[in-house]
Amino acid sequence: MRPTLHVSLDAIRHNVDAWRKYLCGRPLWAVVKCDAYRMGIVQVAQACLDAGAERLCVVEMWEAAQLRDAGITAPIVQIAATPEVDVETGVKLDVAISVADAARATAVSRVARECGRTAKVHVAIETGTGWWGVTPHDAPAFAREVASLPNIEWEGAWTHIAGINSMEAQVRRLHAGVEQLRAHRLAVPVLHIGSTGPNVWGLAEGAARIGVGLYGAAMGDDQQRERLRTAFEVRAPIYGVRRYAEPMPLGYGGTYVAQPGETIVTLRIGYGEGIPKTLAGRGSVMLGGVLCPIVGAIGMNFTMVAAPPKVEVSADDRAVIVGDVPGVRLEEVAAAAQTIPHNVVTMFGSGIVAAYSDAAVTY
């Protein structure tokens, strides 16, 4: 008796197509870092490529190795400053390497020369996240130091937008840095600036790195939300059904008291399988075609819901915790849990082994 996680590859392809139309011809790069948000890097990456994604983005070089081992030959970009220990692997796997200082660029040049290859390199520009990158102020000195390095194709430059309020200033800083790089003989013709959120907030240039949007998050765009599908569903089996004849505190801390005549359904799913604890008292599940509120504290393995009188519950039923149905769609669950959609996706993906299908889920 276990909860299940089903990833609809058809829905992911649908979402990629919806984002490509939204971007009006700008390139879409699928972000498959963290095992594709714990949904399965190879399966998700292939679905994205099938639907027209032009490149794949990873954070760890071993993620790129997984993709290459699976036979995926599409362009891959490491969207983090590549550690020196990973440079040789990146060159051999034909991954676009990111550099944030002259020392790393020199190491890439040396390894590429030893391997008899030309490495594609992207310059990370620091615009206001503090993680890594060449600052616009330091860009001229950086470019002068690395412009003559052999066996490097200076293919692109990029940054990461920290938030909607900082986006305009960060884009200005990026342009300032890129202008300096180009003025000092680094071509960097390809720009990639924003993930899903910034491309909804008004960013209209460069390749779009779409990550959580693959799974149905529109990040505030109501029209796009209607076009997207929640690309995974989590279901939980019923562990028990009880109708109480007397007031009964439920869960750790007794934060909810079931009243006489109230039907409480215990589901075999808890925070150990990825359901956010903050859904207690705020979220709902779909059971018997009706939204049933989550009551009491969520345990590691069990969650309780209150079933309205009109709902007939069978021990064979399974509650929909997240799915492509109103009330439990990805962004609705995230809002109820007071967290971001990214967190919801990765939590369930970490707690339950995914199964895959090309078919859409029916309710």
* CATH number of the domain encompassing residue 21: 3.20.20.10
Structure confidence at residue 302 (pLDDT): 96
Condensed to tens digits (0 to 9), the pLDDT of residues 31-43 reads: 999 999 999 999 9
The angle, 0 to 180 degrees and rounded to 10, between the axes of the packed helices 139-146 and 102-115 is: 20
Residues 84 and 31 reside in one and the same domain: yes
Q: How many domains does the chain have?
A: 2
Domain boundary among 214, 245, 260: 214
Residues 169 and 273 reside in one and the same domain: no
- Is the CB of residue 226 less than 8 Å from the CB of residue 13? no
- Would you say residue 147 has pLDDT above 50? yes
Structure confidence at residue 267 (pLDDT): 97
Residues 195 and 334 reside in one and the same domain: no
Condensed to tens digits (0 to 9), the pLDDT of residues 256-273 reads: 898 998 999 999 999 999
Residues 191 and 265 reside in one and the same domain: no
- Is the CB of residue 113 less than 8 Å from the CB of residue 144? no
Residues 100 and 194 reside in one and the same domain: yes
Q: What is the mean pLDDT of residues 282-299?
A: 94
Residues 86 and 173 reside in one and the same domain: yes
Structure confidence at residue 359 (pLDDT): 52
Determine what percent of the chain is predicted with pLDDT higher than 70: 99
Residues 204 and 145 reside in one and the same domain: yes
Interatomic CA distance for residues 58 and 177, integer angstroms: 23
Structure confidence at residue 362 (pLDDT): 47
Has residue 56 been placed in a domain? yes
- Would you say residue 130 has pLDDT above 50? yes
Interatomic CA distance for residues 278 and 333, integer angstroms: 10
Residues 205 and 112 reside in one and the same domain: yes
Q: For residue 22, what is the enclosing H or E element?
A: helix 9-23
Condensed to tens digits (0 to 9), the pLDDT of residues 209-236 reads: 999 999 999 999 899 999 999 999 999 9
Residues 239 and 210 reside in one and the same domain: no
Has residue 159 been placed in a domain? yes
pLDDT band at 295 (very low <50, low <70, confident <90, very high): very high
Average per-residue pLDDT in the chain? 94
Has residue 172 been placed in a domain? yes
Structure tokens at 254: 């007794």
Structure tokens at 317: 């039923």
Structure tokens at 293: 């509120």
Structure confidence at residue 335 (pLDDT): 97
Domain boundaries, position 300:
232-357
Has residue 190 been placed in a domain? yes
Amino acid present at 49: L
